[in-house]
A = this chain, B = another copy of it.
């Protein structure tokens, strides 16, 4: 396990940049005393902020950049013109090996595009995927893909399962995480051809994971399985629906406790329980999506993350880097050979 970690932080990415980035890094600095930071962004903006956080400043190196990827930039624009930006330079630091992992709260499409072009996809992986942890009744589950790939074939889903299991072993500390494919029914006959074919392949695997078949959307928040695998379109919709529903109900709870004087009194009594509930659902405590399948680690924070949220995303980055997740995935791929490889062999034998 790697102890000293260097984090390349894009300080110009999120809605609260660069203040939230620096304040978040300062929190992370306290939590992970062995971490070092490369801070990418506008020098004039970052220097006064760093003055307010001397402990962070001591563990950091400021890397002045001028360009910034805007939230409305298209991925293709970012890939063409983004290398000199704070985001592009943070990824470049991972590519050169200067940093162990890059963290950005900026434009997701741009980040995925730049990371893919600059770090390249791992051997044996067709497409990278975006994974995150979701709060569940029992703790947390991992879900992927969350938007990197709108439509996925059987090979992609199998690769996502392998990468997601490695991610869960690293972040959730599980030896053999349970993995399921998201589907519209749990019976074997449900869903598309692609899903059924991927399930068939995963049933035969001997990797460190337990394949649990299909799982439906309503089971996600209950943590029925450790890793939920799906295509990027469905995953993005499911994750956002889950987040939106949690926000919606949090608002209803707020309304309920403001509905009468009695209710306000009730809140005073039940405050601790309610605060635990709120904290359990707080998006800033579950922040940090990881791009899996690249030759290097990149973590995406919510654009709206507060400093606590940025610190959580940095925590995910530290975890990934410590466990050398990229190597773990490479080892799993080598152990099993991907389906792609197996079938290439078969074709070879048949011919």
Give me the interface of A with B, judged by CB distance under 8 Å.
72, 74, 136-137, 147, 150-151, 182, 184, 187, 189, 191-192, 216-222, 230, 232-234, 236-249, 251-253, 255-257, 259-260, 262-263, 265-274, 276-277, 280-281
Bound-complex Cα distance A262 to B241 (A): 33
Min CB distance, A287 to chain B, in Å? 15
Known: A184-B232, A238-B238. A273 touches B260 (CB 8 A): yes
- The SS class assigned to the A binding surface is helix
Min CB distance, A106 to chain B, in Å? 15
CB within 8 A of A150: which of B189, B191, B248, B280?
B191
* A237–B192 touching, CB < 8 Å: no
Most chain B beta-carbon contacts within 10 A, residue among A151, A218, A271: A218
* A222–B237 touching, CB < 8 Å: no
Bound-complex Cα distance A237 to B249 (A): 19
Known: A248-B221, A252-B280. A233 touches B270 (CB 8 A): no
Chain B residues, CB < 8 A from A256: 270, 273-274, 276-277
* B234–A237 touching, CB < 8 Å: yes
CB within 8 A of A240: which of B217, B243, B272?
B217
Min CB distance, A95 to chain B, in Å? 27
* B217–A237 touching, CB < 8 Å: yes
Bound-complex Cα distance A278 to B57 (A): 49
Chain B residues, CB < 8 A from A245: 220-221, 241-242, 245-246, 249
Chain B residues, CB < 8 A from A147: 184
- Interface CB pairs A-B, < 8 A, 21: A72-B187, A150-B191, A184-B233, A184-B236, A184-B237, A217-B237, A217-B238, A220-B244, A221-B248, A233-B234, A241-B241, A241-B242, A242-B242, A242-B245, A253-B253, A256-B277, A259-B273, A266-B267, A266-B273, A266-B274, A269-B269
